[in-house]
Amino acid sequence: MFQIVLHFLVPALIAGMFYRKMLWKAWLIMIATMIVDLDHLLANPIYDSNRCSIGFHPLHSYLAVGIYIGLLSFPRLRLIAAGLVIHMALDYVDCFM
Protein backbone atom coordinates (compact mmCIF):
# COMPACT_ATOMS: atom_id res chain seq x y z
CA MET A 1 0.00 0.00 0.00
CA PHE A 2 2.85 2.40 0.84
CA GLN A 3 4.31 1.78 -2.62
CA ILE A 4 1.07 2.91 -4.27
CA VAL A 5 1.10 6.11 -2.21
CA LEU A 6 4.65 6.76 -3.40
CA HIS A 7 3.45 6.54 -7.02
CA PHE A 8 1.36 9.64 -6.30
CA LEU A 9 3.63 11.41 -3.82
CA VAL A 10 6.96 11.30 -5.67
CA PRO A 11 5.55 12.86 -8.89
CA ALA A 12 3.94 15.55 -6.72
CA LEU A 13 7.33 16.32 -5.17
CA ILE A 14 9.03 16.45 -8.57
CA ALA A 15 6.27 18.67 -9.96
CA GLY A 16 6.59 20.97 -6.95
CA MET A 17 10.36 21.22 -7.26
CA PHE A 18 10.74 21.62 -11.04
CA TYR A 19 7.34 22.64 -12.43
CA ARG A 20 5.91 24.98 -9.82
CA LYS A 21 4.19 27.24 -12.40
CA MET A 22 2.29 24.28 -13.83
CA LEU A 23 2.24 22.07 -10.75
CA TRP A 24 -1.13 20.36 -11.29
CA LYS A 25 -0.65 19.81 -15.00
CA ALA A 26 2.82 18.34 -14.48
CA TRP A 27 1.58 16.10 -11.67
CA LEU A 28 -1.40 14.87 -13.70
CA ILE A 29 0.78 14.08 -16.72
CA MET A 30 3.19 12.07 -14.57
CA ILE A 31 0.30 10.29 -12.84
CA ALA A 32 -1.24 9.44 -16.22
CA THR A 33 1.85 7.38 -17.04
CA MET A 34 0.63 4.78 -14.56
CA ILE A 35 -1.31 3.43 -17.52
CA VAL A 36 1.93 1.55 -18.19
CA ASP A 37 0.71 -0.91 -15.55
CA LEU A 38 -1.85 -2.26 -18.01
CA ASP A 39 0.82 -4.76 -19.02
CA HIS A 40 0.21 -6.47 -15.67
CA LEU A 41 -3.04 -7.76 -17.18
CA LEU A 42 -0.97 -10.01 -19.46
CA ALA A 43 0.48 -11.94 -16.52
CA ASN A 44 -0.99 -14.99 -14.86
CA PRO A 45 -1.70 -14.37 -12.04
CA ILE A 46 -2.25 -10.66 -12.65
CA TYR A 47 -0.81 -9.81 -9.24
CA ASP A 48 1.89 -11.74 -7.44
CA SER A 49 3.37 -10.07 -4.36
CA ASN A 50 6.61 -12.03 -4.79
CA ARG A 51 7.15 -11.06 -8.44
CA CYS A 52 9.36 -8.16 -9.49
CA SER A 53 7.69 -6.12 -12.23
CA ILE A 54 10.98 -4.91 -13.67
CA GLY A 55 12.14 -7.31 -16.33
CA PHE A 56 8.93 -9.36 -16.18
CA HIS A 57 6.19 -7.28 -17.80
CA PRO A 58 6.73 -5.99 -21.39
CA LEU A 59 6.39 -2.29 -20.53
CA HIS A 60 8.62 -2.84 -17.49
CA SER A 61 11.42 -4.53 -19.48
CA TYR A 62 14.99 -3.28 -19.33
CA LEU A 63 14.71 -2.18 -22.96
CA ALA A 64 11.56 -0.18 -22.20
CA VAL A 65 13.21 1.45 -19.17
CA GLY A 66 16.16 2.43 -21.38
CA ILE A 67 13.77 4.01 -23.87
CA TYR A 68 12.01 5.91 -21.07
CA ILE A 69 15.36 7.25 -19.87
CA GLY A 70 16.25 8.26 -23.43
CA LEU A 71 12.96 10.13 -23.79
CA LEU A 72 14.08 12.45 -20.98
CA SER A 73 16.30 14.22 -23.53
CA PHE A 74 13.27 15.43 -25.52
CA PRO A 75 11.76 18.53 -23.86
CA ARG A 76 8.26 17.92 -25.24
CA LEU A 77 8.24 14.39 -23.82
CA ARG A 78 10.11 15.08 -20.61
CA LEU A 79 7.12 15.00 -18.23
CA ILE A 80 5.84 11.74 -19.69
CA ALA A 81 9.33 10.27 -19.56
CA ALA A 82 9.83 11.51 -16.00
CA GLY A 83 6.58 9.87 -14.93
CA LEU A 84 7.64 6.59 -16.53
CA VAL A 85 11.15 6.69 -15.04
CA ILE A 86 9.79 7.52 -11.58
CA HIS A 87 7.30 4.67 -11.90
CA MET A 88 10.02 2.20 -12.92
CA ALA A 89 12.34 3.37 -10.14
CA LEU A 90 9.62 2.88 -7.54
CA ASP A 91 8.76 -0.55 -8.95
CA TYR A 92 12.46 -1.46 -8.85
CA VAL A 93 12.71 -0.44 -5.19
CA ASP A 94 9.61 -2.53 -4.50
CA CYS A 95 11.50 -5.60 -5.77
CA PHE A 96 13.68 -5.46 -2.67
CA MET A 97 10.99 -4.85 -0.06
5 touches 12 (CB < 8 A) = no
For the cut 80, the answer to whether the pLDDT of residue 1 exceeds it is no
51-95 pLDDT, tens digit each:
899 999 999 999 999 999 999 999 999 999 999 999 999 999 989
**pLDDT-derived band of residue 49, with 50, 70 and 90 as boundaries?**
confident
Q: Which of 9, 81, 33, 62 is nearest to 53 (CA)?
A: 62
In the chain, the percentage of residues whose pLDDT exceeds 90 is 82
pLDDT given at position 13? 97
**pLDDT-derived band of residue 3, with 50, 70 and 90 as boundaries?**
confident
pLDDT given at position 73? 98
46 touches 31 (CB < 8 A) = no
Q: Which of 4, 11, 6 is nearest to 83 (CA)?
A: 11
